[in-house]
Homo-oligomer: A and B are copies of this chain.
Amino acid sequence: MGSPADAIPDHAPQRTPELAPDLSALAARLRRVRRHSEELIAPLEPEDLGLQGMADASPPKWHLGHTSWFFETFLLEPRLRGWEPADRRWGYLFNSYYDAVGARHPRPQRGLLSRPTIAEVLAWRRRVDAGLEALLAELEGWEVPQAAAVLALLELGLQHEQQHQELLLMDLLDGFSRNPLEPAYAKGAAAPEAAYETAWSGASAADLSTTPETGGWLELDGGLMEIGHGGDGSFHFDNEAPRHRQWLEPFAIATQLVSNRNYAAFIADDGYRRPEFWMSEGWAVVQSRGWQAPRYWRGAEWEFTLAGRRPRHPEAPVRHLSWFEADAYARWGGARLPSEAEWEQAAARLPGAFGLLWQWTASPYRPYPGFRTAAGAVGEYNGKFMSSQFVLRGSCFLTPAGHARLTYRNFFPPSSRWLAGGLRLAR
């Protein structure tokens, strides 16, 4: 991840497709991203590759197959002459949720796909990589619009694969957490936890104006602001656009994420037993699932991580809690969650905005005014999830380098806890 200071994306101009980009640099980036997915499974045992802890998660092998399917389905099949897709049935197995592309294997049963084997999936990745390189090699002679369309889809596929790299690790953590043996994905410097610890140490040090009790607050004037991605040609998902105006009242936002110590005080004050802090829907979830602490807390002093069971550092940001818990904590603390517009206005001046934990906002995930989905099946990427979910902003310690962005809108249902989410307060 690097230090928090580095983590604020600078939007350096990734060359835009229409300007005849440096294709060999793109090919290199493609190779790097694709290879990284495979590096992620290096520490795993063969049995881990099919592990699906719950319906919302997917096995590592499935992530590797699905990202190849994405390139094959949206790029190679329609654009590369002579491309022979994999076994037709694989399309059924590795489609995630694209209704326009046809039927698909039920999500909760991805863990039942002991076949194709990892060897077959990796071989397929090889073929897809070769296909993508062949397509890139062909592009020189194409008309600009056609070439630009290919490059846009290629970029989308890369970004998509990076999203799945992060998801693969979150899903794995969920799966491992259900095993009483508490397996570790990796230990020591190799574990993602190392990056996490480095990052929050840095974030704390960079705090603008702390007090012992509450951390610092950044006060911002309101007014008519602009948020969203401005369409400068750099990559963004459709849901980040268009850039548009929004009126903000003056607000304050915490410079630090809520820590384990902070959150433990909420629990000690019977936070999970006092309905007055909770949304009615969240209170029902607390009751029915018996929540008493964040998802991976274990006893008074431990938490479960990708490095196995480890001591819980009191000053580290609390993580793996739901929107309901974040919202209840904020109410208990006499504060609230920031809106995504507030977050976006403040982020450049906030330590830990990127690279630590996704941060729940008060904003339901809905389209920006003037939002348009992409044409075709790719249009299902984001737009169809715009009900009953909340936006998270920033990025987390599992987010691949270069994937974070100021205007990035992540989103999950309010009861989700397996994603690497935390919170900061506003008022």
* Contacts from A to B (Cβ < 8 Å): 45-53, 61, 87, 89, 92-93, 97, 99-100, 105, 109, 111-118, 175-176, 178-181, 183, 224, 244-247, 249, 275-276, 278-283, 323-324, 327, 362-364, 366, 369-370, 379-380, 384-388, 390, 414
Q: Which B residues lie within 8 Å of A281 (CB)? A: 385, 387-388
**Are B280 and A384 in touch, CB under 8 angstroms?**
yes
- When chains A and B are docked, how far (Å) is the Cα of A111 from the Cα of B179? 10
Q: Which B residues lie within 8 Å of A380 (CB)? A: 276
| Option from B111, B323, B388 in Cβ contact (under 8 Å) with A111 | B111
Residue of chain B at shortest CB distance from A180: B89
Residue of chain B at shortest CB distance from A118: B47
**Are A247 and B245 in touch, CB under 8 angstroms?**
yes
**Are B112 and A249 in touch, CB under 8 angstroms?**
no
Integer count of this chain's copies in the complex: 4
**Are B362 and A112 in touch, CB under 8 angstroms?**
no
State whether A280 and B97 are in contact (beta carbons under 8 Å apart), knowing that A224-B224, A247-B224, A247-B246 are contacts in the complex: yes
- Which DSSP category, helix, strand, loop or mixed, fits chain A's interface? mixed
Q: Which B residues lie within 8 Å of A114 (CB)? A: 45, 47-48, 50-51, 175-176, 179, 183
**Are A279 and B385 in touch, CB under 8 angstroms?**
yes
Q: Which B residues lie within 8 Å of A176 (CB)? A: 114
State whether A49 and B47 are in contact (beta carbons under 8 Å apart), knowing that A282-B387, A414-B387 are contacts in the complex: yes
**Are B47 and A92 in touch, CB under 8 angstroms?**
no
- When chains A and B are docked, how far (Å) is the Cα of A370 from the Cα of B49? 49
Q: Which B residues lie within 8 Å of A275 (CB)? A: 99-100, 384
**Are B47 and A115 in touch, CB under 8 angstroms?**
yes
- When chains A and B are docked, how far (Å) is the Cα of A249 from the Cα of B50? 49
| Option from B87, B183, B276 in Cβ contact (under 8 Å) with A99 | B276
Q: Which B residues lie within 8 Å of A116 (CB)? A: 181
Q: Which B residues lie within 8 Å of A178 (CB)? A: 109, 112
Q: Which B residues lie within 8 Å of A111 (CB)? A: 111
State whether A179 and B115 are in contact (beta carbons under 8 Å apart), knowing that A324-B387, A362-B366 are contacts in the complex: yes
**Are B112 and A53 in touch, CB under 8 angstroms?**
yes
Residue of chain B at shortest CB distance from A388: B388
Residue of chain B at shortest CB distance from A365: B364
Q: Which B residues lie within 8 Å of A52 (CB)? A: 112
- When chains A and B are docked, how far (Å) is the Cα of A111 from the Cα of B386? 33
**Are B414 and A388 in touch, CB under 8 angstroms?**
yes
- When chains A and B are docked, how far (Å) is the Cα of A183 from the Cα of B369? 45
- When chains A and B are docked, how far (Å) is the Cα of A178 from the Cα of B115? 11
